[in-house]
Amino acid sequence: MIIVLKPEASESEVDHIIDRLRDLGLKSQISTGQERTIIGVIGDDRILHNQPLTALPGVESVLPILAPWKLVSREFKKEATIIDVGGVKIGAKKLVIMAGPCAVERLELTVGIAHEVKASGAAILRGGAYKPRTSPYSFQGLGREGLDYLVEARKQTGLPVVSEILDTRDIELFLEKADIIQIGARNMQNFELLKEVGAYDKPVLLKRGLSATIKEFLLSAEYIMSRGNQNVMLCERGIRTFETQYRNTLDLAAIPTLKELSHLPVIVDPSHATGKWDLVAPMSKAAVAAGADGLLIEVHSNPECALCDGEESIKPSKFKALMADLRNIAKAVGREL
């Protein structure tokens, strides 16, 4: 860490800063430039993340040198993490497509969609039993019953299932019924929930928060991993910007960036990112071309009657056609599907 001093910093202020650093077990190295004096701090930057150094008199700014995370980083673990979910390998050469309805609604519908997406090549079934909705008057999901429908769909199709958890009190239920526990965008910084899923080794799909930086996203993954659970996959799902033409702005540069900084698999959700079914296909293709390890796509047999997010769901027939296109793109970038 580098501490830049104000031009008018007094000698006693500098001494005081050096004393504070020594108290923290860190060494200082003063370097006097033409217009500013700086203090290089030797020792673990991470100790300093707890310290309000800019509150010290005489300090102009503080520049961190090291990334604030460890376990998630590519520097810590060179080889890519591959997560095995019931035989499906996430993060390997073969792309993994997770598909299904936004919300689980009825048993037959859920099982029907599961059969269709499997036939087109999906490897994981997605479906929300507990739905985080902006309005209290919107459909809130079937809850426990919805999870049971997913379990039944898995039984009939063999597809592992991913579903979103909303409350720490539901952890036992999800450990029992889901194959992958999803942490949604709105809960990316629900740290108690992160700690809770971190205490087991059940795979976690962590979605990027609506306004989370790459740094905050990786730190949330670090929360889970620092509790012991190493089976984390990252999911880019669009960030909030000024543009209102689509629901969010899909940030595809996050894919190569996350893969450079971290060893964790990166999944993309083009459905929630755009909120428009006709943007799902082009954004799916773009995500694969940019290096995603998998996709999370909403598929519904009757979008106009879907109880949640019908606007962004594609029909099974469109999904089938999309899978064919994705296979070609995957090949063009050295991947398989």
Interactions with a second copy, residue window 3-32 (CB under 8 A): 4, 7, 20, 29, 31
Of 119, 117, 134, whose CA–CA distance to 300 is shortest? Answer: 117
Note whether 119 binds a second copy by CB under 8 A.
Answer: no
Note whether 262 binds a second copy by CB under 8 A.
Answer: no
Which three-class secondary structure state does DSSP give residue 164? strand
Dihedral sign (CA 315, 152, 127, 334):
negative
Q: Whose Cβ is closer to a second copy: residue 32's or residue 87's?
A: 32
In angstroms, rounded to a whole number, what is the distance separating the alpha carbons of residues 25 and 41? 10
Compute the least distance from the CB of residue 244 to a second copy, in Å: 7
In angstroms, rounded to a whole number, what is the distance separating the alpha carbons of residues 283 and 21? 49
Give the Cβ contact number of residue 274 at 10 Å: 23
Piece of the chain touching a second copy by CB under 8 A; list 46-54, 107-115, 172-180, 199-207: 46-54
Compute the least distance from the CB of residue 76 to a second copy, in Å: 11
List C-alpha distances in Å: 74 to 81, 198, 226, 265.
Answer: 10, 20, 15, 12
- Tell me which residues in 141-170 interact with a second copy (CB under 8 A): 166-169
CA angle 336, 210, 171 (to 5 degrees): 80
Compute the least distance from the CB of residue 216 to a second copy, in Å: 6
Question: Could you tell me how many residues make up the chain?
Answer: 337
- 8 Å CB contact between 48 and 24: yes
Note whether 132 binds a second copy by CB under 8 A.
Answer: yes
Note whether 283 binds a second copy by CB under 8 A.
Answer: yes
Note whether 186 binds a second copy by CB under 8 A.
Answer: yes
Compute the least distance from the CB of residue 51 to a second copy, in Å: 8
- Tell me which residues in 78-97 interact with a second copy (CB under 8 A): none
Selected from 162, 180, 288, 295, the binder of a second copy by CB under 8 A is 288
φ and ψ at 153, to 5 degrees?
-65, -40
Piece of the chain touching a second copy by CB under 8 A; list 2-10, 79-87, 117-125, 142-150: 2-10
Selected from 52, 79, 87, 172, the binder of a second copy by CB under 8 A is 52
Indicate the burial class of 262 (C-beta count within 10 angstroms; 0-12, 13-18, 19 or more): buried
Number of residues located near a second copy, criterion CB under 8 A: 107
Selected from 273, 295, 322, 323, the binder of a second copy by CB under 8 A is 273
Compute the least distance from the CB of residue 40 to a second copy, in Å: 5
In angstroms, rounded to a whole number, what is the distance separating the alpha carbons of residues 45 and 49? 7
CA angle 186, 187, 189 (to 5 degrees): 110
Element (H, E) at 176: helix 171-177
Amino acid at position 150, single letter: L
Note whether 172 binds a second copy by CB under 8 A.
Answer: no
Dihedral sign (CA 178, 181, 185, 187):
positive
Note whether 54 binds a second copy by CB under 8 A.
Answer: yes
- Tell me which residues in 308-337 interact with a second copy (CB under 8 A): 309-311, 313, 325, 328-329, 331-333
Selected from 13, 68, 94, 173, the binder of a second copy by CB under 8 A is 68
Binding mask 214-253 for a second copy (x = CB under 8 A): xxx--x--xx--xx-----------xxxxxxxx--xxxxx
Q: Whose Cβ is closer to a second copy: residue 165's or residue 180's?
A: 165
Note whether 271 binds a second copy by CB under 8 A.
Answer: no
Q: Whose Cβ is closer to a second copy: residue 119's or residue 332's?
A: 332
List of long-range contacts for 75-79, beta carbons under 8 Å, 24+ apart? 76/263, 77/263, 78/263, 79/263
Q: Whose Cβ is closer to a second copy: residue 49's or residue 155's?
A: 49
